[in-house]
Structure 1
Amino acid sequence: MTIFILTQILFPLILIGWLAFVPPRNLLGIGIQSLMTAIALVAIARMGIWVFPPWWTPYLYGVLFILALALGFLRHQPKRRMPLSWPGWVMIVGFVAFGAYAGNEAARSWTGQFPAAAPAVDLTFPLRGDNFLIVNGGSDIRINAHLKTLDESVPRFRDYRGQSYGTDIIQVNRWGLRSRGIIPKHPAAYLIYGAPVFAPCAGQVVQAIDGFPDMTIPEIDLVNRAGNHVILRCGAFEVILAHFRPQSLVVQSGMAVAVGDAIAKVGNSGASAEPHLHIHAQRPGSLAMPLSGDPLPVRFNGRFLTRSNRVTTPPPETEP
């Protein structure tokens, strides 16, 4: 996670600083460098997990890019007819290759905002409150890490393929920060920790597992990957909600639930690098491997959520 954070901070700043302070002196060179830098920033913005730095950081990079472009032109005054040296041509070729790669990544991540061809399941968003942020979601692996479990060449993924279109949800404050500190070790330092989770569909609890401890960040439980979790059978499909706080479940196997019934509280049990709610829908799995069913895309309140989407839900209506 630390390397990931540094990459999202340092790499964009290096690209922007390069454009501002040492751009090519030729108009062709600075034009290509500017275009490729813009494409790279778009790709980083689309694929990054913006928890720290926060979700608004790509907009700041956009402002800095415009300022860097203006500064590069004003300070260095590139000439239309100035010949390029061979290092200049090498740099241009490098930028074009880099821009082509970044553009492909951005385009592929953009297609991930649309549901896969499989029939989508309609659910009610399982949390109540402001500023929920999607950190994994969508139909492309660039914005949803769960899709790696569709790789049938890795035998261990077959037991968890039902989560392939899964969604991971955290909560941030008004400044876009999700915790006290950058990567605090204690789960209670995260804003979403302890948030009530509600049934996203009407059905029956087929499995309710409790008793696993919260993990200290960034440790994860590689054996009991779902941690404390609930499986709901809602008609022809199942919904799995995972990583609950220990001793927070208020449902048991066999219970019937209605939409909006309390289920548990968000925690950090199982293979969870930090507190979040994991939810996915699937065709029923086997008894031995309950998360191995065919994965199904999900729409929450009619919306297909992807990485960096933000969600605010009103509190339940109360009787007057």
Structure 2
Amino acid sequence: MLLSILQIIGLQLVLPAAFIFSLWRIKSENKLDWIIQLLFTVIYIMWIFLSGPWDWLGYYVRYVWVILLIPAVFFSWKKTRSLPLRTTLNGSQKITRGIHIVLILVFGLYNVSVFSSYTTQEEAIDLMFPLQDGTYYVGQGGSSTQMNYHHAHEPQQYALDIAKLNSFGSRASGIYPKDLDQFAIYGDTLYSPCTGEAMEVRDGLPDLTPPEMNPEQPEGNYAALACEDTDAIVYIAHMQENSIMIQEGDTIQKGQPIGTVGNSGNTTEPHLHIHAEEEGVGIPIKFDDQFLTRNDLVRTN
């Protein structure tokens, strides 16, 4: 977990600051190298803006980099606008240019993967959003593994992991607290996303202290719902111990309370996991006809 925290700090704070500062203070001898460095910086900032897990540092922090990028572009252009388009380069300058071009290609492909995750050609089922008391953040979601690690696993390929943001735009008080109550979503009521029948229900597993996990019972406390007008089964997982309000075989109504968000099962922190399967294959979910991906917000209050 410490490694993940360091990666987030490095990729989302240190590197953007370094790249924007480097563009701002650029000492290029020609316009072409300025254009190449500008393209790389913009493409990197776009990638981290769209695909970074911003619920850790604060959802609105990502806009800081966009705001800082604008004057960096302006002042760097003022320094280079009178330069020739091209000049003869020495060995180290050629290496620097080559590195920037390679990075443009790498992060350009990353951005292609990000944009590809926003849509799917498969038919989706439309559900009611199962949370109703705050601003909710999609941490995993979309149709590519870069935006949704679940996409690598066929039964859960369109699964969503959802957190809740506090007033600071973060999912918790602190970077990674052990107190479950410090997570904004912990204990929030879950509502049935459809009318149907409860096919499977499990309760009684303990809520774990982060980063403890239970890989032997990955769903934790969960409910599997057979929704009307579809052959898919909707799974809602990691629910709070002894919070489930329905039993196997119950008929349930859309919007009916069914339990609360917990931290049971194979999970590193409290969140809602929801996915739909049809004959063991994951199918897309929409809420109010919206296909959600990482960094989307759902405001319910």
- TM-score by structure 2 length? 0.92
Mark the CA change 1:254 to 1:262 in structure 2 (over 3 Å): closer, same or farther. same
AA aligned opposite 2:184: L
Q: What is the aligned partner in structure 1 of residue 175 from structure 2?
A: 182
AA aligned opposite 1:89: K
Root-mean-square deviation (CA, aligned residues, Å) is 1.7
The residue correspondences of 1:97-108 to structure 2 (distance < 5 A) are: 97-108=102-113
For residues 3-41 of structure 1, the C-alpha deviation after alignment (integer angstroms, 9 at most, x for no partner) is 332222112112112212344232211111011110111
Q: What is the aligned partner in structure 2 of residue 259 from structure 1?
A: 254
For residues 122-153 of structure 1, the C-alpha deviation after alignment (integer angstroms, 9 at most, x for no partner) is 10000002211111111111111101213xxx
SS of aligned partner of 1:205: strand
Paired-residue identity, %: 31
The residue correspondences of 1:72-83 to structure 2 (distance < 5 A) are: 72-74=76-78, 79-80=83-84, 82-83=87-88
The CA distance in 2 between the partners of 1:183 and 1:22, in whole Å, is 37
Q: What is the aligned partner in structure 1 of residue 163 from structure 2?
A: 170
Identify which of 203, 207, 211 aligns with 1:214. 207
The CA distance in 1 between the partners of 2:184 and 2:288, in whole Å, is 23
The CA distance in 2 between the partners of 1:308 and 1:17, in whole Å, is 26
Deviates most, 242-251 or 25-34: 25-34
The CA distance in 1 between the partners of 2:82 and 2:221, in whole Å, is 61
The answer to whether structure 1 residue 199 and structure 2 residue 192 are counterparts is: yes
Cα shift at 1:118: 2.7
Q: What is the aligned partner in structure 2 of residue 47 from structure 1?
A: 51
Identify which of 240, 243, 246 aligns with 1:245. 240
User: Any stretches of 5+ residues in structure 2 without a counterpart?
Assistant: none
Q: What is the aligned partner in structure 2 of residue 226 from structure 1?
A: 219
Q: What is the aligned partner in structure 2 of residue 303 from structure 1?
A: 290
- TM-score by structure 1 length? 0.87
AA aligned opposite 1:244: M
AA aligned opposite 1:205: A
**Contact kept? 1:55, 1:176, Cα under 8 Å:** yes
**Contact kept? 1:194, 1:266, Cα under 8 Å:** yes
SS of aligned partner of 2:199: strand
Q: What is the aligned partner in structure 1 of residue 19 from structure 2?
A: 15
The CA distance in 1 between the partners of 2:165 and 2:19, in whole Å, is 28
Query: How many residues align structurally?
Result: 294
The CA distance in 1 between the partners of 2:29 and 2:164, in whole Å, is 46
The CA distance in 2 between the partners of 1:184 and 1:166, in whole Å, is 25
